[in-house]
Amino acid sequence: MNPDPRPHSPVGRALNRARPKQLLQAAGILPGDGEPLPTDPREVVQVLDDPLFADKVTEVASSIGQDPAAARVEAAANLREMSAIHTERTGAAFRKFLHWMGRAHDVYIDEDSVARLRALDSQHSLLFVFSHRSYLDGMLVPEVVGSRRITTPYLFGGANLNFFPAGQLASRSGIIFIRRNTGEIPIYRLALRSYISRLLANRANLAWSIEGGRTRTGKLRPPTYGILRYVADAVDQREDTDALIVPVSIVYDQLHEVAMMTKEARGGAKNPENLRWMYKFAREQKNRLGRAYVDFGEPISLRKRMGELEADEASAPYAIERLALETCHRINRATPVTATAVVSMAILGEDRALSLTQVEETVAPLAGYLQERGWRVAGGFNLTDRATLRRTLEELVTSGVLTAFDGGTETVWSIAPDRHLVAAFYRNTAIHALVDRAIGELALLAALESDGDDTAAVAEAEALRLRELLKFDFFFSGRHEFGSDIDAELAGLGSADRSRGTRDTDELRGHIAAARPHVAHLVLRPYLDAYHVVADRLAALDLPYDEKVFLDDCVQVGKQWMLQGRIANDESVSLELFKTALRLADHRGLLDSTSPEIEQRRKDFADEVAVTTARTETIAAFHRASRS
């Protein structure tokens, strides 16, 4: 039966007639009349029967002044709230529902990696840690894994999605609903930690989003550490237990959610998830949007990698953070570049409408660079194929991202009104493949300004500075591998090698100007503009720092700068980007007004960002000159 909830469909009429109890019984969530009530999942029973767990509950209760008996009741309720189980009957019903919810996309899967994971599944718990661009991600991962004869993972989902009746259906299909912001409820944290430990002891597979929530910009967000920390603790405490982190990339040609998410990035209110929300989301899925691509990165042995990090005195205090960043880097490495991303990048890089021939000319250097660096193209498409580019343009017109004008001698395409942020979202799904190139361009400009110093040495030092400046927005390889990558970029851009030392500045400028593609203004300018706004407001701050008041000020000044042309476009006027810039400022100790020489250090930060931003404008000028 097609689970269509429209009022005039068979299922819609059944929903109107049936009582909630009957619906849940039909799905196998509740027992039929006269049948026994469902019992606790075995992991919950095992945790509650464990004397060590009872002792820990008593210990935590004593530390917070809570009655131990009340704490044990609270812990048991927490465990039952978060518990999940895989049942054949409910799982089958849920899979039908998920197939219907995902009907806007055809799913392409990295089958070569699946075979390898199938072999590992027989020996280890697999931790499927995925990127998060859509509500569909959590639906895709368990279904893709389970349908490939790999043990279906338990999926961690936000408690905000646990609403009637979908939540009951989901929890009996392996979805563990967990609360956010549990810092003030230690009994809950203990219950979750113990539940995860028991799942791993039983060799269960797990899945969750490393970002904690959906990206609003298209690129990977900074990671969250909670579940990863609990999993690492469980492995550390059980000598017979190991788990493999499996980085999972999920990327789409297009998504219905993007316009809503970009609105939220500008500070718009997030709609609450409920039955009405689900109905609206499901209704939008009837419109086809191309393909979803699921790819698996190189697995990481959690026990081995944590051991290596903790053995390093410098890394040990930050072992979980380093592991999370490495996982994100591997997710990016597994993420293919879509034709949608490249076409969006090409058109965003221009201030005019483009014909198909002009799109081809703009995409060709990007495609050549990606091929040279070994980046895969989603679906195996040829980015230089005229038919592929035309189809992608037409798909973006159909979804309202682009407009097409065909009243003249040839059709031309441009960004539709109020859809710049949507196109930028799609572009950002691929910028991980171009960050090193962008840094190389800016590093060589710094060398050009060094007035005769060893250009290679100056460029490499500048690349490391940019790595530090951007480390909260992008995921880089280790310093040694990053150095090798940047050396390759500098060589491609015409830098002097170490044996030649300095190089004539006119010659070097000519090499940079002639290089193809130019990407720094496309890849880094939106983030640097946001950093520039934050740094400027910090330098002007004469009151105690208050985050909400400060961010409101950034939004207003950002809008002003956009109107004045001081920032490239409104993509940079984003709470998400401002908050990342604040993380950088906090890391540098710039939010503490009592810090020594704080005014001068804030001014230095603003100057640093301003100089770097100006260099992206130089790259943009090279790009404009190359097309004239």
Q: What is the mean pLDDT of each run of 10 residues along the chain (628 residues)?
A: 39 42 49 53 91 94 93 93 84 77 88 90 94 91 91 88 68 86 89 94 94 90 93 87 94 89 68 73 83 96 94 92 96 97 93 93 95 94 96 95 95 94 94 96 89 78 96 91 90 59 68 88 95 97 90 95 92 92 96 88 97 95 82
The encoded tokens of residue 605 equal 């930060």
Q: Are 217 and 473 in contact (CB under 8 A)?
A: no
Q: What's residue 86's pLDDT?
A: 86
Cα–Cα distance measured from residue 440 to residue 443, given in angstroms and rounded to the nearest whole number: 5
Cα–Cα distance measured from residue 393 to residue 399, given in angstroms and rounded to the nearest whole number: 10
- Amino acid (1-letter code) at residue 177: F
The encoded tokens of residue 238 equal 């059980």
220-235 in b/e form (b: 16+ CB < 10 A) is bbbbbebbbbbbbebb
Cα–Cα distance measured from residue 107 to residue 113, given in angstroms and rounded to the nearest whole number: 15
The encoded tokens of residue 16 equal 């109107």
Q: What's residue 169's pLDDT?
A: 74
The encoded tokens of residue 463 equal 């690349």
CA torsion angle 508 509 515 518 (round to 10):
130
Residue 197: closest CA among 43, 68, 319: 43
Cα–Cα distance measured from residue 519 to residue 619, given in angstroms and rounded to the nearest whole number: 8
Phi and psi torsions of 99, nearest 5°: -60, -40
Which pTM value belongs to this model?
0.87
Cα–Cα distance measured from residue 209 to residue 136, given in angstroms and rounded to the nearest whole number: 12
Cα–Cα distance measured from residue 249 to residue 312, given in angstroms and rounded to the nearest whole number: 29
14-43 in b/e form (b: 16+ CB < 10 A) is ebeeeeeeebbbebbbbeeeeeeeeeebeb
Phi and psi torsions of 255, nearest 5°: -140, 140
Q: What's residue 348's pLDDT?
A: 92
Strands 291-296 vs 106-109: parallel, antiparallel or unpaired: parallel
Cα–Cα distance measured from residue 34 to residue 22, given in angstroms and rounded to the nearest whole number: 13
Q: Are 242 and 301 in contact (CB under 8 A)?
A: yes
Q: What's residue 22's pLDDT?
A: 52
Q: What's residue 468's pLDDT?
A: 96
Cα–Cα distance measured from residue 101 to residue 242, given in angstroms and rounded to the nearest whole number: 35
Cα diameter, the chain: 89
Q: Are 491 and 373 in contact (CB under 8 A)?
A: no
Identify the sign of the CA torsion 486, 489, 495, 500. positive
State the distance between the two ends of the chain, measured CA to CA, in whole angstroms. 59
